[in-house]
Amino acid sequence: MLCKTTHQSQQRKHKAAMDGSSIRVDWTNLPPQLYQLIAQNLKTHIEVRRFRSVCSSWRSSIPPFCASISPNFPFPHGPTGFLSQITVYLTRPDPDPNLNPNPNPFSSSSSPSSKGWLLKLEECADKIRLLNPITNWRVSSVKDDVARNPTDLNLVDLNMVELGKAYALRYTKGSGSIFGINKVIVAPNFKDCSIFMIYNEGKLGFAQIGNEELTLINDQISDYDDLIVYKGQPCVVNKWGQIFRINSSLELVPFSPPIGFGCRKNLIECCGELYVVDRYLGANQQHQTSPKIHVRNASFNFFLRHPLRRGRRIYEADQPKAIDFKVYKLGDEELGGRWVEVKSLGGQAFFLSIDCCFSVLAAELKGCKGNCIYFTDSNDIGFALRELIRSDGSVFCLEDHSINWLSSSPVYSQMFWPLPA
């Protein structure tokens, strides 16, 4: 009798699966120890809020988000800075199961209603700032039918996929962004919270929480363009396109041959592979020296008084403009590991934001065109966050090598709007 009952139960389950229906699971009654395991992996204000909004039992299982003390970096000859985390998401409203009860999870097509938007949030202590995903300008004045700040966004009803993560250094007093920094990454697999940074337009530095020493790595060279964490290791690329791994002894280990050619290199990971985007600047702009903004008060920025610096930091008000791009991918090591120029990105789109680079499948993003590079000419995180230099986003098409302003077409604005209110 038991065997017969079991067989009938299996038949019912099999029939339900064939019919496309699902067995209901009581998610409100999880084992208590499982809540704590989940809570240990909720690192941001948004993740905790989404978890606690599921039901009353989940809400009571963990406390509200309590912002951990941001890592402080007491640099010499200047005020203490702390690390601010910035995350880029691909967001879309959660699908309504009543409209499509049997969706095909293996379908590669994306209907217009299923496409998402880019959302960039900076979590700074108990504050959340909504930023332009490319230029980092704070979004504060937009259309009446669009959410004006992150508190107006119902993040619970959004399906959010992380595309990239970035960091900025801010002063502990006043939370103003620190000038002179081009890129910051958190060093993985280090004992204490540590960061690598590119500052002063090409110097590579290392800082550790609680340590007032800012270590300049390879002080004979100041031509580094970009940093990335690739396969769990910090990597840096110089202006010649040679990539180095940075080991725990702060030694630069060559990872690739140089590329040469262009003016500014960016590192970007796409589908698990590492790419270098080579940016070409106008012939009269590659070594541009004017017009510029001079910061006269040396105490305003600790980098101005840092003993490792050579000369006073100068901030360019008119950034050099890109006129062309080339994309390279490292070939197989069996074939010598040479750089191979990529003529087409296919359905992928590359985004070169001021503080991080990421890729996205264009079919998943409203207003986005594949085989294109979306970028900004600005190169200073501090200036972008303080909105002292206006640098609109642009789009470069690999097919015809054309460059257009994003603001020139309402189609491109669909990547960011409408934000669900």
Mean pLDDT taken over the chain? 74
| Residues 340-389 pLDDT 10s | 999 999 999 999 998 999 999 999 999 999 999 999 887 655 555 444 44
Lowest mean pLDDT among 49-63, 85-99, 137-151, 391-405: 137-151
Q: Check whether 301 has a pLDDT greater than 60.
A: no
| Residues 212-221 pLDDT 10s | 677 889 877 7
Contact 277, 325 (CB under 8 A): yes
Q: How confident is the model at residue 27 (pLDDT cuts 50, 70, 90)?
A: confident
* Residue 118 confidence (pLDDT): 92
Domain ranges of the chain: 34-66, 72-95+114-415
Contact 417, 143 (CB under 8 A): yes
